[in-house]
Amino acid sequence: METDEPRWLDDDEREAWLALGSMVIRLPAALDQQLQRDAGISHFEYQVLAGLSMAAGRTLRMSDLAVLADGSLSRLSHVVKRLEQREWVYRTPDPEDGRYTLAVLTDAGYEKVVATAPGHVAEVRRLVFDPLTRAQQRQLREIGRRVSTAIDPDGCPGTGA
């Protein structure tokens, strides 16, 4: 029986992989820390609120919101329950198809997003965009799209797929 030798990472690839791994772990933690400190919410909760704030009628099907927020439907359901307790979101059956549930951003939820967004975008800018040149930002966008497409060719947000 013949086995192929693994394609080991060379030194440059290994350094790139370690840098990416560090960023993938540290960036979400830093964003969570800022949002918890300044707004009392997690990054995932913010993604849900912000996604709804940009949707037509501030309303999305839960399944679509899960894709937009990059979370499972189960995780989203737990988060939306917490957001409902704060009266920032409510759920209602989809009148066009009762098999679906809609998540709707309340006025209070919209106010929370509006109040939270400036501090969040400042932190994103400080951590991600300010350290990079415009060319590096374009490269980062392309790298993110290519890696996301490799992970899920049919479901990568922001790729036009």
Residue 2, pLDDT score: 64
Residue 99 counted as domain residue? yes
- Sites in the chain below the pLDDT cut of 50: 159-161
Centre a 10 Å sphere on the Cβ of residue 133 and count the other Cβ atoms it contains.
9
Residue 30 counted as domain residue? no
Secondary-structure breakdown of the chain: helix, strand, coil percentages, each rounded to the nearest 5:
65, 10, 25
140's tokens: 């980062």
Q: State whether residue 27 is helix, strand or coil.
A: helix
Residue 154, pLDDT score: 77
CATH code (residue 120): 1.10.10.10
3-state secondary structure string, 78-123? Answer: HHHHHHHHCCCEEEEECCCCCCCEEEEECHHHHHHHHHHHHHHHHH
Q: Which residue has the tokens 């951003």?
A: 105
Residue 113 counted as domain residue? yes
Q: Which domain holds residue 70?
A: 35-143
The count of structural domains within the chain is 1
Residue 135, pLDDT score: 98
Residue 4 counted as domain residue? no
Residue 84 counted as domain residue? yes
CA distance 4 to 88: 54
The pTM assigned to this predicted structure is 0.85
Residue 128, pLDDT score: 97
